Amino acid sequence: MATKHKLQYVWLDGSEPMQQMRCKTQIIEDFSGKLEDCPMWSFDGSSTQQASGGSSDCLLKPVAIITDPQRKNGYIVLTEVLSADGTPHPSNARATIEDEDKDFWFGFEQEYFLWDPETNKPLGFPADGSDPAPQGQYYCSVGAANAYGREIIEEHLDACLDAGLTVEGINCEVAPGQWEFQTFAKGAKEAGDQIWLARFLLDRVAEQYGVVINYECKPVPGDWNGSGMHANFSNSFLRESGKKEDYEKVCEAFRPVTKEHIEVYGHDNHLRLTGLHETQSIHEFSYGISDRGASIRIPVATVERGWKGWLEDRRPNSAADPYKVAARIVKTVKPVSV
């Protein structure tokens, strides 16, 4: 008897300012599990802000596949959106990546809030509108008075690992209900694929608990850290340099294109990049060793290894598109990596 496999196709819609993930499932008998055997598919773009009703067909081009850890005989197929004529849709940022240099390694730190839709507050915030204890006790915490929603985070971590994603860790962040996971990948497209697939699994896990994942960079006003998606990056030049001057040259390359980076580092970043709460002002650019208040942090581990390591751009926020962030970093760093 033929085995029927569930292929859940995932794509990014036309929502602004942050694209949302959409998905639908098709059944294929005796599927091989290989990307090349995933058929092209289509959807109604008029329902996703990607087409008009009079010409609504958009195409789904499979670009990555993972085992679906939550469905029997299941796979998750990440796709790019194409217009009906087969050209990349304007909402398709992945297709605009011009340089897929696998020598560039990326480690993204995705922060987010677990959000209670009934109270319209993060998990752990009192429902009566009063303030919780100030931030400080929650970071990397344990215990029911400090860590909220751990069952969701642990289930998500297991799902990512079972699916074969390169998630490298998780931790509580500085506010109640705020968490982070970290991914690693080589090349701008692969780096983006890892984040979007991990985000998809996180949304789907949280859905079972009636909890929303809030990717807004400053969803809680006041004396709370915002949410970032810090971008750790390196290439052979940085990994093998051995010279402080080389690191300064790379950091300085970011200064004249500050505006271009901020444009793709996530919406409403002015609310987060205030110069407070471990950020540099959105209007300034700086870098420094072990400086979490800088635009770009030079990790102390890089210095201790004899200036052989990586850099961390702390400006991308939690709602940023990782495809655009990684592509912009490659564009800035590659010309000076000589």
Q: C-alpha distances in angstroms, 297 versus 49, 62, 237?
A: 38, 36, 17
Give domain limits for the chain: 4-91, 105-336
Paired strand residues for 65? 77
**Is the CB of residue 105 less than 8 Å from the CB of residue 238?**
no
| Terminal-to-terminal C-alpha distance of the chain | 59
CATH code of the domain made up of 4-91: 3.10.20.70
The 10s digit of each residue's pLDDT in 194-237 is 999 999 999 999 999 999 999 999 999 999 999 999 999 999 99
The 10s digit of each residue's pLDDT in 266-315 is 999 999 999 999 999 999 999 999 999 999 999 999 999 999 999 999 99
DSSP 218: -
Residues 6+ apart with CB under 8 A from 144: none
What's the CATH fold of domain 105-336?
Answer: Creatine Kinase; Chain A, domain 2 (3.30.590)
Cα–Cα nearest to 101, from 234, 255, 229, 241: 234
pLDDT given for residue 129 in this prediction? 86
pLDDT given for residue 326 in this prediction? 98
Residues 6+ apart with CB under 8 A from 288: 294, 297, 298
Residues 6+ apart with CB under 8 A from 52: 46
- What is the sign of the dihedral through the CA atoms of 249, 111, 196 and 169? positive
**Which residue in this structure is represented by tokens 């790019």?**
80
The answer to whether the predicted template modeling score (pTM) of the entire model surpasses 0.95 is yes
pLDDT given for residue 54 in this prediction? 77
Where in 68-158 does DSSP place strands (E)?
74-82, 105-116, 121-122
The alpha-carbon radius of gyration of the chain (Å, integer) is 21
pLDDT given for residue 299 in this prediction? 98
Low-confidence ranges of the chain (pLDDT < 50): none
Please give the structure tokens belonging to residue 97: 């990546």
Distance CA 186, CA 143 (A): 36
